[in-house]
Structure 1
Amino acid sequence: MARPSRGYEIGLLILLTFANGVVGLDRLTASFLSPYIVADLKLTNTQLGLLGASLSLAIAVSAFLLGRVADRTGKRKTILVACTIVFSVGSALGGFASGFLFLFLARFALGLAEGPMVPVGQAMMADASAPARRGLNMGLMQMVGAFLLGAMIGPILATHIADAYGWRAAFFLSGVPGLLLALGLALYVRDTPKPAAREDRLPLLATIATLLRIRNMRIAIALAAVYSAWVMVQNVFLPVYLTQAKGLSSTTMGWVLGMCGLAGMAGGILLPGLSDRIGRRPVCAITCFASIGTPIALLLIPAGSAVPLALAILIGWIPIGIAPLYCAVIPSESVPPAMVTSAIGLAMGTDELLGGVVAPFAAGNAADAFGLAAPLWLCLGFAIIAGLLALMLEETAPMLRRDR
């Protein structure tokens, strides 16, 4: 199959980067608004953790299942457009919540639609990219949009809308960009021919078993789960930690958390691009171990110190740029072509199930029992375990492998 032109590669990169940004915005809106929601709906820390868990559980289920459908049918574009429309409408449902259960179910529905967005988009990006630019392109696609729109603009916009018009208005407005995006995806994206391969005919459980027999897949899945726990626990609890434990106002908290966006964009460009040159394994290992610095800094910086807290997040969240490597790049380079979307979906699904469901629930219980510092201590342990797992990876970067 001929590789798409450089022009299409760049255009697809821009469109999918924006798509992932909209997904990030819709996903993180509830976290940014958590101080308002907790106060209005009288939620406990455990319930707050469950809201994050409900979204992650739904993504865990749909990422792999719909990713497998995309592999079997080749209808990546159809799945991408349909899910964009559904999650945009679903995002607005949160604004109608009158209690915990409604918001829990609304976030679960949103997750079902968002699940396949990254696996399908990354599989498209891997197909369209030249090997020497694959890590960079997949990093840009997954991180720049998500952190520009979701983590940088998102907290500032959401908290200011909530202050002016109420938190429900922020939910209503979060779904608008996705509907415009769906039109752009429908007009520009091409479906690529479905690879003809033996793996394409495997049933669901056999597909999972085949993927898990690949050593790099097992390690990438474990790494994804543990490092996702580092990310998700902070996404869920940093807003309340910064407002309650560090004494910041809600709007100041929004500006401080906006540094996550700058850090994620920087890391999403630097680290995957660097991995194209020096390898996926060393980049993952070094940055995982470096991630211990963030929870330590946030625990030690005195209350009310907005600027130092912002700097700690700006520097400490750069390592999150490795997310495309363990979720998408390494799986896509470790499996047969007919299983790429399934492999990315399985890595993402496990990452969401363990890192996004189990970890926030456990951290919520720990926060209720021991205080809001407990989730950060858990993140310190997650970073160390992730670093040890990264050291076990086999190198997959095409520039450094003799067989590619």
Structure 2
Amino acid sequence: MKYLVARPWGGYERRMITLLSLSFGLVGLDRFIIMPLFPVIMRDLALDYQDLSMLSAILAFAWGGSALFMGAAIRVLGTKKLLVLSITLLSLLAGASALITSLVGLVLLRALMGVCEGAFTPVSIIVTDEVSQPCRRGLNLGIQQALFPIIGLCLGPLLAGVLLEVFGSWRAVFAIISLPGLLVAWYLYKTYQPTRAPSTASIAHTSRSQWRTALSSGNVRLNIALMLCILTCQFVLCALLPSYLTDILHLSNFSMAMIISAIGLGGFFGQLVIPGLSDQLGRKPVVSICFMISALLVGLLIISPPLPWLLFLQLFFLSFINFSLICITVGPLTSESVPPSLLATATGLVVGCGEILGGGVAPVVAGYIAMTWGLTAILFLALAGSLTGGLLSLWLKEANPLFNGLKDYAPLSARLTLEDK
């Protein structure tokens, strides 16, 4: 069995992590920028708030469904083609939103965007793991995913407001935001050097067998359950907390917007810190402690008085923890649980199932709970997610080889082989 030589630490690793981080930030921008633009779109296309919920749900389900099959797609196309193609098509589709004239067209377009985002997410995680030295695997995964919340949830609404003010049209906003993605796709094409060529093995047989094998490996099944818990907490708050702040705590729209911006800020800084700590302290203890802190913060949110500065801090640190948990779970906890030949399949399963259940089903359940028992009840659903995740994390197997007794702690580029056995 011949091994490829690992690339040394240097400019290539830094350039790739930067490009992958920018790419994922633009994915967040394309996903969430419709929300601040929706009041204007709603008037032009005669839509309502139920339509907004449907647009969010269809993208989440398409994202998750696409991610499930990325293992087979990577084996056929290879990581480079899929990486560049997905971000290119996503940017073009975001720009095409400027041409939409009906709800049906917008739903179809958002579904296609979800497919591209679902393709990009697992392959970007795999490539980040591939180009990273092992002592920086968690840190690099955190950097790679850090721009998603800061650009998508924090800077995106501000950018939308400025562009809408300057150009006076939501269609112009969509056309403009497509340009950076095309530029980043070109730089990825010029920079990325895959470690091996795609396999031409049969997809139909391989997908089924690799799914079964991946699900029985390491922490993969547990990671799927953890993702459901994390996203139940985070996405429920993203979807319904604005209404809770204005309708239950009676805060102004301006105060609500300032508080909600803490989601993007907290997620950004958390992913720069916590995944790197898991490199030094081990994955399992960091994940377990983070779930405990998350549950504590949701509990404090339930009893918090309507003080904007206090709510901002609570939401900041809650997102600081939750986005870090997402990063560690889909990243090193998964990649260090399976051999390289199963990495694409395992990552796709964790990302896909988590997105479908946590990003699609959980907000729908939260909406039913809010309609039945009131908006305050959604906070108890978020609390249940964090508490359940904390209990499940006790059954994790330590994935960081520095802490589980394994001496061979090679980066993925060194573990990949020219021929699978």
> TM exceeds 0.5?
yes
**Counterpart residue identity of residue 157, structure 2:** P
Retained in 1: the 8 A contact 2:70–2:122? Answer: no
**Counterpart residue identity of residue 218, structure 1:** R
Provide the C-alpha distance between the structure 1 equivalents of 2:39 and 2:311, rounded to a whole number of angstroms: 18
Aligned residue among 384, 387, 390 for 1:387: 390
* Aligned position for 1:43: 48
Provide the C-alpha distance between the structure 2 equivalents of 1:22 and 1:302, rounded to a whole number of angstroms: 35
* Aligned position for 2:347: 344
Distance 1:215 1:130, change over 3 A: closer
* Aligned position for 1:16: 20
Provide the C-alpha distance between the structure 2 equivalents of 1:379 and 1:38, rounded to a whole number of angstroms: 29
* Aligned position for 1:401: 404
Distance 1:389 1:199, change over 3 A: farther
Bigger mean CA deviation after superposition, 327-336 or 294-303: 294-303
What's the CA shift for 1:384? Answer: 0.8
* Aligned position for 1:214: 217
Provide the C-alpha distance between the structure 2 equivalents of 1:382 and 1:93, rounded to a whole number of angstroms: 37
1:109 aligns with 2:112: yes
* Aligned position for 1:312: 314
SS at match of 1:377: helix
Retained in 2: the 8 A contact 1:267–1:322? Answer: no
TM-score by length of 1: 0.89
Distance 1:309 1:219, change over 3 A: same
Retained in 2: the 8 A contact 1:43–1:100? Answer: no
Provide the C-alpha distance between the structure 1 equivalents of 2:248 and 2:107, rounded to a whole number of angstroms: 25
Retained in 2: the 8 A contact 1:155–1:257? Answer: no
Per-residue CA deviations over 1:26-85 (Å, capped at 9, x if unaligned) read 11223444566678755345x544332211111111112133321x13621111111111
* Aligned position for 1:67: 71
What's the CA shift for 1:294? Answer: 4.2
Per-residue CA deviations over 1:213-261 (Å, capped at 9, x if unaligned) read 1241111111112212222222222344444444455555443322222
Provide the C-alpha distance between the structure 2 equivalents of 1:325 and 1:25, rounded to a whole number of angstroms: 22
Retained in 1: the 8 A contact 2:94–2:174? Answer: yes
Which runs of structure 2 are paired with 1:224-243 in the superposition (5 Å)? 224-243=227-246
Report sequence identity in percent. 32
Provide the C-alpha distance between the structure 1 equivalents of 2:71 and 2:404, rounded to a whole number of angstroms: 27
Distance 1:33 1:379, change over 3 A: farther
SS at match of 2:194: coil
Which runs of structure 2 are paired with 1:48-197 in the superposition (5 Å)? 48-70=52-74, 72-73=75-76, 75-95=78-98, 100-142=103-145, 144-161=146-163, 165=168, 169-194=172-197
* Aligned position for 2:294: 291
Provide the C-alpha distance between the structure 1 equivalents of 2:35 and 2:381, rounded to a whole number of angstroms: 19
Distance 1:16 1:293, change over 3 A: same
**Counterpart residue identity of residue 29, structure 1:** I
Distance 1:201 1:354, change over 3 A: closer
Distance 1:197 1:66, change over 3 A: closer
What's the CA shift for 1:17? Answer: 0.7
How many pairs were matched up? 400
What's the CA shift for 1:276? Answer: 0.8
* Aligned position for 1:282: 285
**Counterpart residue identity of residue 385, structure 2:** F
What's the CA shift for 1:307? Answer: 2.4
Retained in 1: the 8 A contact 2:71–2:207? Answer: no
Unaligned runs of 5+ in 1: none
Retained in 2: the 8 A contact 1:119–1:348? Answer: yes
Bigger mean CA deviation after superposition, 172-181 or 124-133: 172-181
Provide the C-alpha distance between the structure 2 equivalents of 1:202 and 1:387, rounded to a whole number of angstroms: 36
Distance 1:106 1:124, change over 3 A: same
Q: Radius of gyration: which is bigger?
A: 2
SS at match of 2:219: helix
Provide the C-alpha distance between the structure 1 equivalents of 2:182 and 2:240, rounded to a whole number of angstroms: 30
Provide the C-alpha distance between the structure 1 equivalents of 2:251 and 2:175, rounded to a whole number of angstroms: 26
1:27 aligns with 2:31: yes
Retained in 2: the 8 A contact 1:35–1:240? Answer: no
* Aligned position for 1:271: 274
Bigger mean CA deviation after superposition, 326-335 or 359-368: 359-368
Provide the C-alpha distance between the structure 1 equivalents of 2:21 and 2:402, rounded to a whole number of angstroms: 24
Provide the C-alpha distance between the structure 1 equivalents of 2:43 and 2:246, rounded to a whole number of angstroms: 12
